[in-house]
Structure 1
């Protein structure tokens, strides 16, 4: 498991599963000859996308960023369509670190699409139960509202199995939520309720832009997903936070990247000056 230490804050990437989505959809209007130089695709034009939560250890608190694909959530048809060939190993990884899912204090949900939220619940008998029974689950109010009342476009990605049994644990916010050095900020863009996560140490800054920059190859502010509900909001948020991050030589971390856990670019954004690669 790859780790990153920022002052007294420790980040550890867990194995939440993997899916493979169409590269064209993941890079929107960007031509394949451009994006494929930065991120390879398979013979079906699919790119590998991890769904790996980040465990944050700080001040005797355990915070989990996202929840992975879970276990047993996908039909055979869904596994084929989404290329979801690996399920979650979060419980095993936590056990290796000396924890259980009951030890998690907070789950920070940047948004509630199925590839982020399936790991929140699991089927026991004939009903779903919370995977993190003692955790407060944090997301924006806008996202939580749409999760429970999706529109015709979003209903395929907001699943009732992922929220009905955890609603008593959910705490929502409007613009920002924070605890110590960890802050969630509503941005919109990928979804109306999408948020990013900022971790600020004394000397270092980490920006987790979730699905408005799902991989290192999405660094260009104009490279946004065809899945984005509000692409101009994604572009605006990327412009703002890339500028801040590059000026401060911040770490940029990823949930979906199959190659990098986190990178630092130089102030021009042209060169990677520090990196944490994912171990294959």
Structure 2
């Protein structure tokens, strides 16, 4: 498991499973000759996307950002369509840290799309139950509303199976929330109507999780947004705000989906100056 220590916080990436999604969809209107220089793809034009929750401890709390894709939650057809080659090993990762899923106090959900939310529940005796039974699960009020009442487009990613078992644990906010001192969830919209980012300030360091507004390091260009984004201009506006500010202040940008880097630090001109690499590199170009 890769880690990043910044200030008094140590981020640890757990194995939440992997998908392989169409590169064209992941980079939207960006032509393949451009995006393929920055991120590898396979012979099916799919790119490797991790779904790896980020664990850290702060203010005496055990905290997860995102939840992985769980185990046994997808049909054979879905496994094939989403290019799932491995499922979650979050419980095993927590065991290596001397913890269990019952020890998680807080789960920060930037949004509730299936590849982030499947891991919130698990199958026990043929029934879905909470995977983190003692945790408060935070997501924006807008996201939670759409999760339970999806529209004709979003119903493909918001599944009732992903919220019914954890409904009592969810707490929402409108624009901004500080669940523990130094950690903020900030509503942005864009990728989904209720999408949020997470920022952490500790010991003079600043860390930013842009979530699916910048799913990988290759999405650094503010105009490179996914075809999956429901409100792409809002995604672009949020990137225009947070990327320059973070680069200017020397922030760490850290990722849930990136198969190459866990975290990067760019200078004010966007040049890479520090990074935490994932131990296993992304698949090679097809």
Q: Same fold (TM over 0.5)?
A: yes
List aligned pairs for 1:81-230, cutoff 5 A.
Answer: 81-178=81-178, 179-230=180-231
Hey, what's the Cα distance between the residues in 1 that align with 2:123 and 2:250?
A: 43
Q: Deviations over 1:134-171 (max 9, x none)?
A: 00000000000000000000001011111001000000
Q: CA deviation at 1:22?
A: 0.2
Hey, what's the Cα distance between the residues in 2 that align with 1:132 and 1:85?
A: 24
1:71 paired to 2:52? no
Q: Check the 8 A contact 2:110/2:196 in 1, yes or no.
A: yes
Hey, what's the Cα distance between the residues in 2 that align with 1:96 and 1:112?
A: 27
1:60 paired to 2:60? yes
Q: CA deviation at 1:88?
A: 0.2
Hey, what's the Cα distance between the residues in 2 that align with 1:15 and 1:231?
A: 29
Q: CA deviation at 1:56?
A: 1.3
Q: TM-score, normalised by structure 1?
A: 0.99
Hey, what's the Cα distance between the residues in 2 that align with 1:202 and 1:12?
A: 18
Q: Check the 8 A contact 1:63/1:104 in 2, yes or no.
A: yes
Q: Check the 8 A contact 2:27/2:35 in 1, yes or no.
A: yes
Give the number of aligned pairs. Answer: 279
CA RMSD, aligned part only? 0.6
Hey, what's the Cα distance between the residues in 1 that align with 2:91 and 2:160?
A: 23
Hey, what's the Cα distance between the residues in 1 that align with 2:80 and 2:147?
A: 24
Residue aligning to 1:28: 28
Q: Deviations over 1:184-230 (max 9, x none)?
A: 00000000000000001232111100000000000000000000000
Q: TM-score, normalised by structure 2?
A: 0.97
Q: CA deviation at 1:264?
A: 0.4
Relative contact order, higher structure (CA 8 A, sep 6+): 2
List alignment gaps of at least 5 residues for structure 2: 281-286
Hey, what's the Cα distance between the residues in 1 that align with 2:223 and 2:96?
A: 40
Q: Check the 8 A contact 2:8/2:203 in 1, yes or no.
A: no
List aligned pairs for 1:237-276, cutoff 5 A.
Answer: 237-269=238-270, 271-276=271-276
Hey, what's the Cα distance between the residues in 1 that align with 2:85 and 2:71?
A: 11
Q: Check the 8 A contact 1:55/1:64 in 2, yes or no.
A: yes
Q: Deviations over 1:40-66 (max 9, x none)?
A: 110000000000000011122111000
Q: Check the 8 A contact 1:30/1:223 in 2, yes or no.
A: yes
- SS of 1:143's partner is helix
Hey, what's the Cα distance between the residues in 1 that align with 2:84 and 2:181?
A: 35
Hey, what's the Cα distance between the residues in 2 that align with 1:261 and 1:68?
A: 15
- SS of 2:165's partner is coil
